[in-house]
C-alpha cells in the first residue's frame, strides 16, 4: 500500500472504519464529515491526517456567528473609509482591504492542504448550504476585485459536528460520513497508551474499569469523555495514587479525584447519592 494512506499515527488511534472513511474522502477529493460526542478525537483527527500525509494544516473554527462568506473573504470597508479620510495612499487599491478567509488560503496554498472546518453545527442552520457551491466548484468570485479564486489543489476537507443541529441533505450527499463511536475498552486502552506510554499496567486497567463504570451511571447529564479520562489519569499519576485505591467493587470505593471525570455539579450529586445508596445496601 502506498504511503498516501492514513492509518493513524503515534499520537492517534484510528479504527479500521475511520481509516476507510478518511482514505475514501482523500482519494475521491470529497469532504469527510465526522460526528461524535465531544472528546472523541474529531478535532485531533484532522491534525493527524495532515501530519501523517505530510500536508499543511488549516483550521477554520466555526462559531454561532460565523458566516460562510467569512471563509472566502471579507471586505473591510471601514478601514478603507478611514484611510481615505486620513489621505492614505493604500486606499486606491481595494485589494488592500480584502481579508482572506480560510477557504481562500486553502485554495491558494502551494501544496494540497488539510482544511478542518470544526464544529460546523455551531453555525446558522443554512451555513453548510451556503458553502456548497464553493466546495463543489472549488472556486469563488471576488466581486470587489473581479477575480476568480480557483483551488490550486483540491484541499482535503474534514468537517466535524457535535450533532447540535441536523445538517442539510444536499450537503450530506456530497460528503463521506463517519460517526466516531465512543471507544470500547480495548480501543481506549490504546488511546491512553499513546498519551501515557509509561503508565503502569495495573493503574491503566483499574482506571479504565472505574471510568467505564462511571460512564454507565444512568442519568448523567454529561458522561465523561476521553479527554476527561486522560485528565484524570494525569492527576492519578501526579498524586501518586496506587492502583489498589481504584480496585475492587466500585460500589464500595469512591474513585479518588473523580471530580476530574464529572464536571457537572448535578452529576456529582447524582453519583454521590448512588454510591451512598449502594453502600448502605451492601453494609
Partner 1 sequence: MMTDFFLKLRQAGIPVTLTEFLTLLEALSQRVTAHNVEEFYYLARAALVKDERHYDRFDQVFGSHFKGLETLFDQVIGAKVPLEWLHKLAELTLTDEDKALIESLGGWEKLMETFAKRMAEQEGRHEGGNKWIGTAGRSPFGTYGYNPEGIRIGQHESRERRAVKVWDRREFRNLDDTVELGTRNIKVALRRLRRFAREGAAEELDLDDTIRSTARNAGYLELKMVPERHNAVKVLLFLDIGGSMDDHIRACEELFSAARSEFKHLEYFYFHNMVYEGLWKDNRRRYTEKTETLTVLNTFGHDYKLILVGDATMSPYEITYPGGSVEHFNPEAGEVWLDRLLRTWPRAIWLNPQSQKRWSYVPSIQMVRELMGERMYPLTLEGLGQGIRALQRIR
- Tell me: does residue 226 bind ligand ADP (CB under 6 A): yes
Compare residues 43 and 250 and give the one whose CB is closer to Mg ion.
43
Which of 255, 277, 254, 274 minimizes the C-alpha distance to 266? 274
For ligand ADP, the binding residue among 24, 81, 172, 194 (CB under 6 A) is: 194
For ligand ADP, the binding residue among 29, 38, 168, 256 (CB under 6 A) is: 38
For ligand ADP, the binding residue among 230, 237, 270, 274 (CB under 6 A) is: 230
CB of 36 to Mg ion, least distance (A): 9
Among residue numbers 13 through 72, which ones bind Mg ion (CB under 5 A)?
43
For ligand ADP, the binding residue among 22, 26, 35, 39 (CB under 6 A) is: 39
- Sort 96 into a burial class: Cβ within 10 Å, 0-12 / 13-18 / 19+: middle
Cell of 107: 485554495
- Tell me: does residue 9 bind ligand ADP (CB under 6 A): no
CB of 173 to partner 1, least distance (A): 5
Nearest position to ligand ADP, beta carbon:
41
Residues that bind partner 1 (CB under 8 A): 16-17, 20-21, 23-25, 27-28, 30, 33, 35, 65, 78, 81-82, 85, 125-126, 164-166, 168-170, 172-179, 181
41 binds, options partner 1, Mg ion, ligand ADP, none, Cβ within 5 to 8 A by partner type: ligand ADP
Amino acid at each position: 500500500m502506498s504511503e498516501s494512506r492514513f492509518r493513524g499515527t503515534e499520537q492517534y488511534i484510528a479504527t479500521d472504519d475511520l481509516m476507510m472513511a478518511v482514505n475514501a474522502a482523500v482519494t475521491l477529493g470529497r469532504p469527510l464529515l465526522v460526528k461524535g460526542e465531544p472528546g472523541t478525537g474529531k478535532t485531533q483527527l484532522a491534525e493527524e491526517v495532515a501530519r501523517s500525509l505530510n500536508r499543511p494544516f488549516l483550521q477554520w473554527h466555526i462559531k454561532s456567528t460565523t458566516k460562510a462568506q467569512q471563509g472566502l473573504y471579507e471586505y473591510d470597508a471601514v478601514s478603507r473609509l478611514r484611510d481615505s479620510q486620513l489621505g492614505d495612499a493604500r486606499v486606491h487599491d481595494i485589494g488592500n482591504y480584502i481579508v482572506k478567509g480560510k477557504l481562500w488560503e486553502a485554495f491558494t496554498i502551494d501544496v494540497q492542504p488539510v482544511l478542518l472546518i470544526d464544529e460546523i453545527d455551531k453555525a446558522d442552520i443554512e451555513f453548510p448550504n451556503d458553502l456548497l457551491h464553493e466546495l463543489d466548484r472549488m472556486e469563488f468570485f471576488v466581486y470587489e476585485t473581479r477575480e476568480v479564486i480557483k483551488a490550486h489543489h483540491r484541499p482535503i476537507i474534514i468537517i466535524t459536528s457535535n450533532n447540535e443541529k441536523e445538517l442539510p441533505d444536499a450537503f450530506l450527499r456530497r460528503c463521506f460520513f463517519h460517526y466516531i463511536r465512543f471507544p470500547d475498552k480495548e480501543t481506549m486502552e490504546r488511546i491512553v497508551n499513546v498519551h501515557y506510554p509509561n503508565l503502569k499496567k495495573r493503574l491503566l486497567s483499574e482506571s479504565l474499569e472505574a471510568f467505564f463504570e462511571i460512564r454507565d451511571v444512568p442519568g448523567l447529564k454529561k458522561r465523561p469523555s476521553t479527554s476527561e479520562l486522560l485528565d484524570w489519569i494525569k492527576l492519578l499519576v501526579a498524586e501518586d495514587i496506587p492502583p489498589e485505591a481504584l480496585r475492587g467493587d466500585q460500589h464500595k470505593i469512591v474513585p479518588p479525584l473523580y471530580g476530574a471525570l464529572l464536571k457537572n455539579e448535578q452529576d456529582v450529586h447524582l453519583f454521590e447519592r448512588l454510591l451512598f445508596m449502594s453502600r448502605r445496601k451492601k453494609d
